[in-house]
Structure 1
Amino acid sequence: MAVTTDIVESWRSPRVTFRRHLARGVSEPFAFTLLLVFLILAFIGQWPQASREAFLAQDTATAPRLLARGLAVLATIPIWYALAAISRLVASGFGGQGTGYRARLALFWALATVGPLMLLQGLVAGMIGPGPALWAVNIVVGLAFLWLWIVMLIEAER
């Protein structure tokens, strides 16, 4: 299935979709691709806010702002790998039987699934700006990510 189809299905039945990804076998390039899908969506989601900031600063150049945000997004790659390793250690402390790859896949797939919400978050940040609407969207995105990640991590550790 296409990643986009799997993302939509993950909102209805995350365990089933995640099990299907686990059945593919161990493939680090596949897991890294899921992380890249999230990073690309997160970067694209930053465009409206960067444009808004450039407009409010009466600056015509948005490109430097986008370059800085792109580099910042790329700099998070080691953080995501470290977070997956930490989640694996915590899960093993609770008796989890998974592997490092399965923990990475759970985290990266949860991130990829939340990716479209990052686009919404960027639109709200760019069009409405700081305030209760952005705060509410941030909370929804954060809770959705945590829910998906926990569900998928539990499945990965079985």
Structure 2
Amino acid sequence: MSVTTDIVQAWRRPKAVIAQHLQRPKSEPFAFSLLVAFLVLAFVALWPVLSRQTVLQPEVPMLQRLVAAGLALLALIPFWYLLAALSRWIAKALGGQGSYYAARMALFLALLAISPGLLLQGLVAGMIGPGAQSNLVSVLVGLAFLWIWISMLREAERGNAS
């Protein structure tokens, strides 16, 4: 299944998407590639906001803002791995039977699945600016992420596919 198909299907049936991926042989490079795809799309989602900031504060060039945003996203890679490990520890305490790999896959697939929402969030923040609309989109994207991630994590912690 292609990544774009996974993104669309994760909004409808997140448990089926993670179950299908956990039936494949374990591949850390594949899991990492999902995280990298999310980071690239998150970087693209920041462009409208950074462009707006450059227009409002021209003393900081756009290139400098892009480099800083890219480095900040790269610096978050250990955070995502730690968050996946924390979710695994919590699930294990609650009786989960999954694995650390399954927890990483659930988190990374959920992050990738909400990337269209991040792109919308970036457009709203860049075109409209801060305000109620931007806050509403941010809350909706955050809730969508939590729903998809928790659904995928619950399926991953069933233990039969990991």
Q: 1:54 is matched with which residue? A: 54
Give the SS at the match of 1:58: coil
CA distance in 2, matches of 1:72, 1:15: 31
Deviations 1:25-60 (A, max 9, x none): 211011001101110110000000000000011348
Q: 2:131 is matched with which residue? A: 131
Q: 2:3 is matched with which residue? A: 3
Which one-letter code corresponds to 2:144 in the other structure? A
| Correspondence 1:87-106 to 2 at 5 A | 87-106=87-106
Give the SS at the match of 1:97: coil
For the pair 1:107 / 2:116, whether they are aligned, the reply is: no
The CA deviation at 1:5 is: 1.1
Aligned residues, how many? 158
Alpha-carbon RMSD: 1.0
For the pair 1:157 / 2:148, whether they are aligned, the reply is: no
5+ unaligned residues in a row in structure 1: which ranges?
none
Give the SS at the match of 2:86: helix
CA distance in 1, matches of 2:114, 2:81: 17
Identity of paired residues, percent?
A: 58
Give the SS at the match of 1:98: coil
Q: 1:119 is matched with which residue? A: 119
Which one-letter code corresponds to 1:146 in the other structure? L
CA distance in 2, matches of 1:138, 1:105: 23
Give the SS at the match of 2:103: helix
Deviations 1:49-95 (A, max 9, x none): 00000001134831100110000000000000000000000000000
CA distance in 2, matches of 1:59, 1:129: 19
Q: 1:70 is matched with which residue? A: 70
CA distance in 2, matches of 1:154, 1:4: 22
Which one-letter code corresponds to 1:7 in the other structure? I
| Correspondence 1:79-90 to 2 at 5 A | 79-90=79-90
The CA deviation at 1:125 is: 0.8
Give the SS at the match of 1:112: helix
TM-score (norm 2): 0.95
